[in-house]
Structure 1
């Protein structure tokens, strides 16, 4: 479980610049028309949905190569070189870790392939979660404007590019705030900070080097991600399900959060495939995952709360089950999810 959570976090944070920094697939919307030359008032008139749509459109429509650095308030830092390209409906990415254990992650739409040179293993999987938030943003009842406000703070330079600095502030204490640097011409996110309720920076992600509109061939990245001869290939199987079908329900859901998907991950080699259930919720920006598995006293310790940058992890025993709640949200939000979960059968 710990390894799976770590891999998911590394990949998601590595894609921060690709869609508001959370790897999200935002619904498309046209930004308001530009003001007259020299006008500084137009960007201030954008609402939270317009800013996010502009950032997402830029992340999908531009090819770029850069070095991306992530740092947390606990002193942990990591970096990666990123290639991003698009051709029609095909989006490709290549992420090469520059710190920690060697790792290469390739993505072609929902197909993800991870090369681990030290163990000579290749892991392949489909990650529908790259697009789980589309319906929330496109629907008329999208909760984002109800729980966040947007305000342009001014301008700054990041990796040599002029950027608008936008503050996304939460309207309650159930979610973090964000400060985003959006490249002026395209809207591409070039830097992002996650802020706590007092405005302190919990985590920062930014390009230290960036080249826009460079040729990144989708066929070249596709060839690289399929070159697995001589490697041990492990295929991660995930089964789509519902919490109700698995016998779980929430007495109440924290305000603004909606269930967006649910999966079951079979345990390899187990006589009965009672694997881990992952139930994902989102308010359109923040995401929370509930992982439920059979309790095992040999693997599971005491109930606890862990923090790493903006991400908190809470573990709790629920009858004969073990619950792990993970999200880039305040601890009170995780507790609300954890204590609301109950077994139906």
Structure 2
């Protein structure tokens, strides 16, 4: 992806050693994204968040037709996500499988950037750290520090051979680790395993049969109706969709913002007859802020500090009078 113009200018005028360091870190992030989406791999990782530990198994395949992925929990009740390109299903124990939207169906690989990494410049500093061994492989640390208190910091350990993130940590301003993902073993394959591909497609087909081949909820054609008037610096709107809601109610507007690493979702819908949501909830790195604006329910969810969720939620405004 092209570098922002000011980054190109910076590289032209900085001393060669510093310019090389900036280029190397950006290149490392770009290669990481390419590795996560373009390589064939399978492995087991431990996910630590909100005081809980979960062990997960992931199989990822990539070929000319796109990506396929199978994520399975190995602890507690069985949970799965099966993805074939943009088509994905979620299986929760004995409950009926759920279809996921296009945004929800993106790869679950831990440490994967959720937005455009070009947005990082000016809001994060990035530097390479020491070498370490993770899952029996040599990995280079990459330290991403926020330049304000509106976002979290990240520490990534990238496999020297493939640039896959073998370990990732999300930290707050005090250096406290809010989320940690560590691979205990990972295998990178030269090509997709046909048996694994068959198993993924068979699992998806079974889930589709149970669901009844109902298409995933698709956005409806609608002009943008909502905006955030005081968006924190560095965040940009990367997706806006309106989904049909329950009978007799208006649609649900879904706005997605990102600064290249963090992602914030804003949901706006008419207040239901049930008790509306008001208040905050923190679970590990994920902040949730809910409020009622006029006759609309606003819910903000993202891997950002609560102050950032507050700023976004409190400045959600209609672009025009809703309903007209």
The verdict on how the C-alpha distance between 1:275 and 1:229 changes in structure 2, with shifts beyond 3 A counting, is closer
Secondary structure at the counterpart of residue 276 of structure 2: coil
The correspondence of residues 146-157 of structure 1 with structure 2, limited to 5 A, is: 146-157=122-133
Instruction: Check 1:43–1:164 CA distance in 2 against 1; reply closer, same or farther (3 A cut).
Output: farther
Out of 60, 66, 77, the position equivalent to 2:37 is 60
Distance 2:53 2:80 in 1: 18
Alignment of 1:205-220 (within 5 A): 205-213=181-189, 215-217=192-194, 219-220=197-198
Mapped to 1, the partners of 2:234 and 2:41 lie a distance apart of 34
- Quick one: distance in 1 between partners of 2:22 and 2:229? 39
Q: 1:59 to 1:230 in 2, by over 3 A?
A: closer
Q: 124, 132, 139: which is aligned to 1:163?
A: 139
Which residue matches 2:14? none
Aligned to 2:13: none
Q: Which ranges of structure 2 fall in alignment gaps of 5 or more residues?
A: 4-17, 108-112
Asked if structure 2 preserves the Cα contact closer than 8 Å seen for 1:123 and 1:235, the reply is no
Q: How many residues align?
A: 296
- The Cα offsets for residues 114-134 of structure 1, whole Å up to 9 and x where unpaired, read as 233412x23224414639x89
Question: Are 2:199 and 1:224 equivalent residues in the alignment?
Answer: no
Taking structure 1 as reference, are residues 264 and 229 closer, same or farther at Cα in structure 2, changes over 3 Å only?
closer
Q: What's the CA shift for 1:101?
A: 2.9
Q: CA distance change for structure 1 residues 112 and 232 in 2, over 3 Å: closer, same or farther?
A: closer
Deviates more, 1:102-111 or 1:286-295: 102-111
Q: CA 1:110–1:223 in structure 2 vs 1: closer, same or farther (change >3 Å)?
A: same
Q: Deviation of residue 305 (structure 1)? A: 1.3
Query: Secondary structure of 2:122's partner?
Result: helix
2:90 is matched with which residue? 114
Residue aligning to 2:218 = 238
Q: Structure 1 residues 336 and 48, CA, compared in 2 at 3 Å: closer, same or farther?
A: farther
Q: 1:283 aligned to 2:259?
A: yes
Partner secondary structure for residue 227 of structure 1: helix
Q: CA deviation at 1:97?
A: 1.6
C-alpha distance in 2 between matches for 1:149 and 1:52: 13
The Cα shift of 1:323 comes to: 0.8
Q: Deviations over 1:167-226 (max 9, x none)?
A: 011111111110001001111111100010121111101212222227533741223312
Deviation readout 1:52-85 (Å, 9 max, x if unpaired)? 101112212321111122112x312222111011
Match of 2:58 in 1: 82
**How far apart are 1:103 and its partner, in Å?**
2.1
Moved over 6 A (4+): none
Structure 1 gaps, min length 5:
1-26, 30-40
**Structure 2: how far apart are the matches of 1:219 and 1:194?**
32
Q: How does 1:1-345 map to 2 (within 5 A)?
A: 27=1, 46-72=23-49, 74-119=50-95, 121-128=96-103, 130=106, 136-137=116-117, 142-213=118-189, 215-217=192-194, 219-220=197-198, 221-228=200-207, 231-233=210-212, 235-239=215-219, 245-268=223-246, 270-272=247-249, 274-296=250-272, 298-301=274-277, 303-343=278-318, 344-345=320-321
Change in CA separation of 1:232 and 1:313 when aligned onto 2, cut-off 3 Å = same
CA distance in 2, matches of 1:312, 1:58: 29
TM-score (norm: length of structure 1) = 0.77
Residue 173 of structure 2: SS of its match in structure 1? Answer: coil
Task: Pick closer, same or farther for the CA change 1:258–1:163 going to 2, 3 Å.
Answer: same
TM-score scaled by length of structure 2 = 0.82
Residue 240 to residue 152, structure 1, CA distance change in 2 (3 Å): farther
Aligned Cα root-mean-square deviation (Å): 2.7
